[in-house]
Structure 1
Amino acid sequence: MTKFTNSKIKFLLQELNDWVGSEITIEKEERNDLDKNTLSLENVEIVKQVENEDDYVDPYSIELQGKGTVIQDGRKSTKLPLDSYELPLHELHSVEASSELLTVKTDRATYKLKK
């Protein structure tokens, strides 16, 4: 995927860029495991990942940049390890959007982003 012509990716980028400057919550559900993070969204960009033999790392992702936290056990929170959160682009199945909710489904997980 060298040219980002995929309409789902363009749509997702447009929606996320409209959210820059907002506090967002990101929920990732993967195999009955739910991760929850918050992020003060400062920038959005597509990044190419380092070449890796591990199939788990997608070659491209959308990087949500900003300071954030990981919410553990519904109450405790710790700082995100990096000032960013990555959404994989490989096998992007669907993107649904409303003014305050984005749902992104890939072959591995479902991401719900809320303003």
Structure 2
Amino acid sequence: MNNNNLTVEQFNQLIQQWSGKNIKITKQELGDKDTIIMKLDDISYHNDTRRIDDYESLHSIHLIGEGTTETGPQTAQPLPTSSYKIPLEDTTRYQFDDIRFSLVNERGTYTIELSG
């Protein structure tokens, strides 16, 4: 896989082009793996200055849309909210290989790709 490193601005410009499309998000964080399928309606960025502890990220991207999370083989549950939050750190690496985005930071790896 040939990953091209992006700035956050380049990442935002490219991911905005996927608005209105179905995406698959794979999260590998703290030994846990989740898969989410959603119709991406919008993208927003948030700063949380009222954090309770350091586990909560200061910055995050919210992928907004209706979707499901895989809970087991051939089973899925609706997302509890119409937004999926990915924590962003100052050290987050944004990568794109022409078919998928990868956001890599100390918390984990988040892969976003188009879903058939």
Whether the TM-score (by the shorter chain) exceeds 0.5 is yes
Question: Which AA in structure 1 matches 2:13?
Answer: Q
List 4+ stretches of structure 1 deviating above 4 A. none
1:53 shift after superposition: 2.1
1:58 shift after superposition: 0.8
Q: Deviations over 1:33-84 (max 9, x none)?
A: 2111111000111122360221111122111110011111132111111101
Distance 1:12 1:74 in 2: 31
Distance 2:50 2:96 in 1: 31
Gaps of at least 5 residues in structure 2 are 1-5
Distance 1:19 1:73 in 2: 27
Distance 2:48 2:92 in 1: 20
Identity of aligned pairs, percent?
26
**Superposition pairs of residues 1-115 of structure 1, within 5 angstroms:** 8-49=7-48, 51-115=50-114
Gaps of at least 5 residues in structure 1 are 1-6
More relative contact order, 1 or 2 (CA 8 Å, 6+ apart)? 2
* TM superposition score normalised by structure 2: 0.85
Q: Aligned residue pairs: how many?
A: 109
* 3-state secondary structure, aligned to 2:92: strand
